[in-house]
């Protein structure tokens, strides 16, 4: 993270995801129902998956 004035800004990374036609259609439906962008939906899904694997808790407690 870097500081711009008093605002702390996180560096963002772009990740490319390859989906099948059916997966893309499913993602589109999820985005529509949630009223979110694809990137926001994928970001939330990624964090939920990491949480299910206890990776977020481990990271907070220094186990990773």
19 in Cβ contact with 27 (< 8 Å):
yes
Reported as a single tens digit per residue, the pLDDT across 7-20 is 666 778 888 999 99
Which pTM value belongs to this model? 0.66
The Cα 25–Cα 13 span in angstroms is 24
DSSP state of 9: E
**Residue 24 in this model has a pLDDT that exceeds 90:** yes
Give the residue among 61, 60, 27 at the shortest CA–CA distance from 44.
Answer: 27
Contact indicator for 17, 42 with CB cutoff of 8 Å = yes
Q: How many residues does the chain have?
A: 64
């Amino acid at each position: 993270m870097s500081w711009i004035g008093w605002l702390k800004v996180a560096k963002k990374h772009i990740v490319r995801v390859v989906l099948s036609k059916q997966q893309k259609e499913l993602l589109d439906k999820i985005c529509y129902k949630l009223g979110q962008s694809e990137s926001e939906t994928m970001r939330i899904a990624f964090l939920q998956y990491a949480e299910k694997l206890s990776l977020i808790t481990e990271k907070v407690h220094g186990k990773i």
